[in-house]
Structure 1
Amino acid sequence: MSKYGKEILIGVIPVVIAFLAFIGLNVVPVLFMSVIVAALFLMNRARTGAGMGATADRKAKSRTPSYLTFDDIGGQDRAKHELKEALDFLIKHEEIKKLGIRPLKGILLEGPPGTGKTLMAKAAAHYTNSVFVSASGSEFVEMYVGVGASRVRDLFKDARSRAQKEGKDSAIVFIDEIDVIGGKRAGGQHREYDQTLNQLLTEMDGIHTAETPRILIMAATNRKEMLDSALLRPGRFDRHITVDLPDRKGRMHILNIHAKNKPLAEEVLLDRVADETFQFSGAQLESVMNEAAIYALRDGLEIIGQKHLSLAVDKVMLGEKSDRESTREEKERVAYHELGHAIAAELLNPGSVSQVALSPRGQALGYVRHNPQKEQYLYTKEYIESKIMVALGGAVAEEMFYGGRSTGSRNDFEQAINMVKTMMDAGLTRLGIIDREMTTKEELMKENAAIMEDLTRRTRELLERHRTVFIQSLDILMGEETLSGDQFRHMLQEQTGLLHESA
C-alpha cells in the first residue's frame, strides 16, 4: 500500500465510526473488529518484512561472486585486454582526471553463448575490488505494471548501499541477458518492458562518475542487434566488447585450465583436442573434459586416455550414443548417405575424413568424423561451394541408389541453405552486392534454387564416377559399423587409379 493510501485510510476510518455512532448504531463491535484486523495486519507485515529481509540476504549472498581473476578465464586475450583498459578508468582516478577523461558508465559484453561473458564480469569485480551485484533480464519481467521498474531501482540502490556498508569505492551492477528488457521499443505501445527499460536508462543517466561509491553497469547479450539504440549510445554503454569463440591458442588455454584437476594419461595430446574442437565455445570445451572423465569412470580407469577425449568431442558435438535398433534396409540407406558425404569431402578436400560411422548419436543415425581443419575466417566462393556439395552428398547418394531422398537430409539442407545465405550476403552470387530489404523474396528464392540445382548436379556427377566405392565400402560399414579414414582413402585411391587407367 502506498504512503497516501495509508493516510486516506487513517482519515476515513474515524469518520465512518463517527457516522455510525451518529445514526444510533452500536460501534463497540466495529471498534473491536477493527483492532483485531489491525493487529493481524501488523503481525503479517512483520513476518513478510522478515521473510523479505531473509530473501534479500540470500540474494545478496548468491550475488557475491566466488574468487575469480582474469587468469582463470582462457581464450579471450583481446577481450580481456580491452576490458581491463576500460576498468582502469574506474581505478586510476587521478590519472584520468589530469587528462579530463570521463569514466565509463557502462560496458556491454556481446558474443555467442558459453564464451565467458558472466565470468569476465565477475573477474572485473575482483580486478577493481568492487561490490558485485548481478541479475538476469528475466527477473525484471512481470505481468504487473511497474514491478520491473521498481526492481531496477532496488538493484542500483542495493549496489550503493552494499558498497558503502563494505567500505568499497565502487560497485559493478551486472545484468545478464539484457536483451529481455532492453529490446527495441515499438511505437504507440505502452508496455511493461518499456517502463523497465526507461527506468534503466534513467538510472544510467543518474550515475555521476565523480561521486562515491562509483557505479559501473555491465551487461551481457548474444543478440546485440535487438537492443534499443537509446541503450547503446555513448554516455550509457560506452564500450561494446566482443567476447567471441576462442581460436586454437585460446582453446588450448581453456583445455589446460580444465585439465588441472584431472588425471591425464601420458600419451594424451591436448593439442589434438584443440584442433578437433574448431568453433567450440569455452562451455563446450569444459564439457569435453568433463565427459572424458565420465567415459574413463565407465571403463573403470583412474586416468583419462586419448580415446576418452575423442569420444567426448563426439558426444558434445553430436550427442550421446543411442540404443535405437534400425532395420537392415534403414542401415543400408544411412550407410549410402554417410558415404556420400565422405566421398564428396575426400574428393574436394583430400585427407579430411577421419571416420565413417553407423552408430547412432543424438538425432543422427550415422555420421562422418572429419580431421582437424585449419583456422579459417575468410571464405572464397569456391570453398563455400565445396562445403555445400559435401552437405548435399548424402541426399544425392540416396537418389543414386534409391531414386529418392529421405528425412535424414533435413539438417544437411539447413546447413546448405545457410551457406547460400552467406554467399548472398557477401556478394558472391549472380545477384552481386545486395541489400536483403531492397531485394524481393522471389529473387532470393530464385537465386537460391539456381545455386542448389547447379551444385546438386555437380555433386551427382562427382559421386557417379565413384559408384564402385559405395559398393566396396558398404560391406565393411554394414559389418563393422565403422570405417576408418585410412581404409576409406585406400579404396578411394584404388578406384581413382582405375579411373585414370581406363581414361
Structure 2
Amino acid sequence: MVKEILFGAVPAVIVFLLFLKVNIGPFLLFAAVLGGIYVLLSRQAGTGFAGKATRSRHIVPKTNIQFSDIGGQERAKRELKEALDFLIKKDKIRHYGIRPIKGVLLTGPPGTGKTLMAKAAANYTNSAFVAASGSQFVEMYVGVGAQRIRELFREVKQLAEKNGQDSGIIFIDEIEVIGGKRDGQQQREYDQTLNQLLTEMDGIGSTDNPRILLIAATNRKDMLDPALLRPGRFDRHIVVDLPDRKAREQILRIHAAGKPLADDVDLEKIAQETFGFSGAQLESVVNEAAIYAMREQSETISPRHFALAVDKVMMGEQTDREATVEEKRRVAIHELGHAIISEQVRPGSVSQVTLTPRGQALGYVRQNPLEDRYLYTKEALEQQIMVCLGGAVAEEIYYGGRSTGSKNDFEQALAMAHEIVQSGMSRLGIVHLSYIAKSQVHEEVNRILEELLERTRWVLRQFDPVFANSLQILLEKEVLSGDVFRRMLHEQQLVGSLSAQPLAGRG
C-alpha cells in the first residue's frame, strides 16, 4: 500500500513543481541519496522496500534425503545419529543427566558427503533446517557478519515454531572462513563474526524449545580456532573420509539405480578401479557414463562408457592437441615402461594403456589397484618408485635420454623416497629431519633412487619383444587394454624370467 501511494504521489509532485517552474534538480539528487541509503540499510537488516522481511537466504527447501541414500560412511553416520538422538530422546537425556550436544563438526576431503549428511540429519530428527556457507558472513561492512549470525539462529527458531517442530539444525559449510585462528592482534571483522558465533553457541541451553544443534563442515580442521573446537561448543568431531572399496560399490549402486546398465557392467570392478575417488566423483562417473551412452545413442550404458567416464573424471576431458608421429612413439614407449614395471611388481594392476591426450597428459596408464592400501612397507614403496621411474628409463633405453614428460613421475618418486627416509626404513635409521643435515637426506634419497633406477633398467631390458608388439597396437589404435597387454606378456613367457633377480628391496 505504501509503495502504491509513493509511486502515485512522487510523479504528481514532480509535475506540479515543473508547472511552477521550480528547479527540481537538487530535490532529485537529495531523493536519490536518501533512497540509496535506505535500500542499503534495508538489505543489511534483511528487510524489503516496504520494511517487510524478505525471504531468507538460509532456509533450505525440504528434501527427502535419508541416511540410507548416502553410500558408505557407516561409522560417520553412526556417530552422527548418536549425536542427533540427543534431540529426539529427551527423557533419556534428563534421566541420565546428560548435557545435550551443541555442535557437531564434520571434517574430511571435498565431495565426501558432508552437506548430504547434514540434510539427512534434519530429516532424521524432523528438525527445522537452515544452511549457510562461511563466505556469506564475510563482508566489508563492520558488524554485518555478527548480525547475520544472530539472524541465522533467530531464523531457525522462527522456522521451527512456524512448523511446530521442537528442534532446529543450523548447517554452516566452509566454517574455516569465519572460524579461523585469531592472531591476537588488531581486531578484524571476521573476529567479531566468530565471537558472535561463540556467544550464540554458549547461549544454547538444555531447556530451550526449540533445541538447536549446530553442524559445521570443513576441509581444513587445522585452521580452526581452538575456542571453537573445545568441548561445550563442537562436542563431536566426525571424520567423513574417502570411501573404501565396499563403500564405493554401494555409492555406485545408489547412483546407477534406474539407469539402463548393460548386463556385463561390473560395478564391483569399477569400484576397485576408482581407489581414492570421493562420493561426488563416483556420482560424476555414473553421470558421465550415461552422457557417453546418450552421445552414441546407445540403448544401454556399457563397460566402455564407464571406462571413458573414469578416465574423464580422473584425467580430464580429451584435448584436441595433435602430437607428431615421433612424439606419439616416444609417449607410447614411456607409458609402456610404466605398464611393464607395474605388471612385474603387481601382476594384474594395469587396466589400460592409452595415447589419448587428456588434461595435461599426452598419454597415461590407468592402474587397477587390487586392494585399498593405507599402510606401505619399504618393499611396496620401492616397487611404486620403480613404476614411476619406468617411463623415463624406457625413454633412456630406446632414445638415449629423457624428456620433460618425466617431471611429474620424478616428483612422485622423490616424495616416496623421502617417505622411506622419514619412516625410518632407510640406512639412516630412525631420524628426525630437523636433527640431521639436509645433505645427508639428499645423499640417502639419491642412493635409493639410483639403486631403483638400475633395477628398473635391468627389468625393462628383458622386454624388447613386448615393447615392439605393444608399440604397434598403441600407434594404430591409441588404446591397449590391460587383458591384451597381459596376454602378450604371457605369450612371450617373460613374466617368470625375472625370478633370478628379486624386485624387492635389498637389505
The answer for the alignment partner of 1:96 in structure 2 is 93
Residue identity matched to 1:289: V
Say whether the 8 Å CA contact 1:75–1:249 is kept in structure 2: yes
Is residue 45 of structure 1 aligned with residue 38 of structure 2?
Answer: yes
- Equivalent runs, 1:1-150 vs 2, <5 Å: 41=34, 45=38, 48=42, 49-50=47-48, 56-57=54-55, 59-61=57-59, 63-150=60-147
TM-score, length-scaled by structure 2:
0.85
Say whether the 8 Å CA contact 1:466–1:495 is kept in structure 2: no
Separation in structure 2 between the aligned mates of residue 179 and residue 432 of structure 1, nearest angstrom: 39
- Equivalent runs, 1:236-251 vs 2, <5 Å: 236-251=233-248
Residue identity matched to 2:337: G
1:302-356 Cα shifts (integer Å, max 9, x gaps): 2212221122112211222223211111111101110110111111112222322
Distance apart, 1:52 and its partner CA: 9.5
The answer for the alignment partner of 1:258 in structure 2 is 255
Is residue 380 of structure 1 aligned with residue 377 of structure 2?
Answer: yes
Separation in structure 2 between the aligned mates of residue 53 and residue 96 of structure 1, nearest angstrom: 42
Distance apart, 1:46 and its partner CA: 7.4
Secondary structure of the corresponding residue to residue 130 of structure 2: strand
Is residue 496 of structure 1 aligned with residue 494 of structure 2?
Answer: yes
1:74-115 Cα shifts (integer Å, max 9, x gaps): 111111111101110111111011111111011010111111
Separation in structure 2 between the aligned mates of residue 308 and residue 38 of structure 1, nearest angstrom: 63
Separation in structure 1 between the aligned mates of residue 248 and residue 242 of structure 2, nearest angstrom: 9
1:349 to 346, 349, 359: 346
Separation in structure 2 between the aligned mates of residue 292 and residue 413 of structure 1, nearest angstrom: 33
1:24-68 Cα shifts (integer Å, max 9, x gaps): xxxxx9xxx99995898479737943159788415145x234221
Query: Cα gap change, 1:192/1:69 in structure 2, threshold over 3 Å: closer, same or farther?
Result: same
Separation in structure 1 between the aligned mates of residue 255 and residue 462 of structure 2, nearest angstrom: 47
Residue identity matched to 1:177: E
Secondary structure of the corresponding residue to residue 234 of structure 2: coil
The answer for the alignment partner of 1:364 in structure 2 is 361
Say whether the 8 Å CA contact 1:117–1:220 is kept in structure 2: yes
Is residue 339 of structure 1 aligned with residue 332 of structure 2?
Answer: no
Secondary structure of the corresponding residue to residue 170 of structure 2: strand
Kindly report the root-mean-square deviation, in angstroms, between the aligned alpha carbons of the 2 structures.
3.0
Residue identity matched to 1:496: L
Query: Cα gap change, 1:56/1:74 in structure 2, threshold over 3 Å: closer, same or farther?
Result: farther
- Equivalent runs, 1:207-286 vs 2, <5 Å: 207-286=204-283
Distance apart, 1:169 and its partner CA: 1.3
Separation in structure 2 between the aligned mates of residue 43 and residue 486 of structure 1, nearest angstrom: 70
Say whether the 8 Å CA contact 2:58–2:131 is kept in structure 1: no
Is residue 415 of structure 1 aligned with residue 408 of structure 2?
Answer: no
2:470 to 446, 464, 473: 473
Query: Cα gap change, 1:314/1:213 in structure 2, threshold over 3 Å: closer, same or farther?
Result: same
Say whether the 8 Å CA contact 1:278–1:373 is kept in structure 2: no
Separation in structure 2 between the aligned mates of residue 425 and residue 190 of structure 1, nearest angstrom: 40
Residue identity matched to 1:210: T
Distance apart, 1:193 and its partner CA: 2.9
Query: Cα gap change, 1:451/1:186 in structure 2, threshold over 3 Å: closer, same or farther?
Result: farther
Which runs of no fewer than 5 residues in structure 1 stay unpaired? 1-28
Is residue 449 of structure 1 aligned with residue 446 of structure 2?
Answer: yes
Distance apart, 1:412 and its partner CA: 1.8
Aligned length: 471
Distance apart, 1:453 and its partner CA: 3.0
Separation in structure 2 between the aligned mates of residue 354 and residue 36 of structure 1, nearest angstrom: 71
Say whether the 8 Å CA contact 2:58–2:152 is kept in structure 1: no
Residue identity matched to 1:409: S
Secondary structure of the corresponding residue to residue 148 of structure 2: helix
Separation in structure 2 between the aligned mates of residue 381 and residue 501 of structure 1, nearest angstrom: 20
Secondary structure of the corresponding residue to residue 249 of structure 1: helix
Separation in structure 1 between the aligned mates of residue 483 and residue 30 of structure 2, nearest angstrom: 84
Say whether the 8 Å CA contact 1:469–1:495 is kept in structure 2: no
Query: Cα gap change, 1:126/1:303 in structure 2, threshold over 3 Å: closer, same or farther?
Result: same
Query: Cα gap change, 1:65/1:474 in structure 2, threshold over 3 Å: closer, same or farther?
Result: same
Separation in structure 2 between the aligned mates of residue 352 and residue 432 of structure 1, nearest angstrom: 31
Secondary structure of the corresponding residue to residue 181 of structure 1: helix
Separation in structure 2 between the aligned mates of residue 485 and residue 39 of structure 1, nearest angstrom: 71
Say whether the 8 Å CA contact 2:428–2:444 is kept in structure 1: yes
The answer for the alignment partner of 2:4 in structure 1 is none
Residue identity matched to 1:298: R
Separation in structure 2 between the aligned mates of residue 452 and residue 53 of structure 1, nearest angstrom: 71
Query: Cα gap change, 1:38/1:361 in structure 2, threshold over 3 Å: closer, same or farther?
Result: closer
Which runs of no fewer than 5 residues in structure 2 stay unpaired? 1-21, 502-507
Query: Cα gap change, 1:343/1:45 in structure 2, threshold over 3 Å: closer, same or farther?
Result: same
Say whether the 8 Å CA contact 1:182–1:197 is kept in structure 2: yes
Query: Cα gap change, 1:65/1:400 in structure 2, threshold over 3 Å: closer, same or farther?
Result: farther
The answer for the alignment partner of 2:295 in structure 1 is 298
The answer for the alignment partner of 1:192 in structure 2 is 189
Say whether the 8 Å CA contact 1:275–1:373 is kept in structure 2: yes
Is residue 318 of structure 1 aligned with residue 315 of structure 2?
Answer: yes
Residue identity matched to 1:274: A
The answer for the alignment partner of 1:22 in structure 2 is none
Query: Cα gap change, 1:89/1:228 in structure 2, threshold over 3 Å: closer, same or farther?
Result: same
Say whether the 8 Å CA contact 1:209–1:215 is kept in structure 2: no
Residue identity matched to 1:146: G
The answer for the alignment partner of 1:395 in structure 2 is 392
Say whether the 8 Å CA contact 2:459–2:498 is kept in structure 1: no
| Further displaced range: 387-396 or 459-468 | 459-468
Separation in structure 1 between the aligned mates of residue 191 and residue 360 of structure 2, nearest angstrom: 40
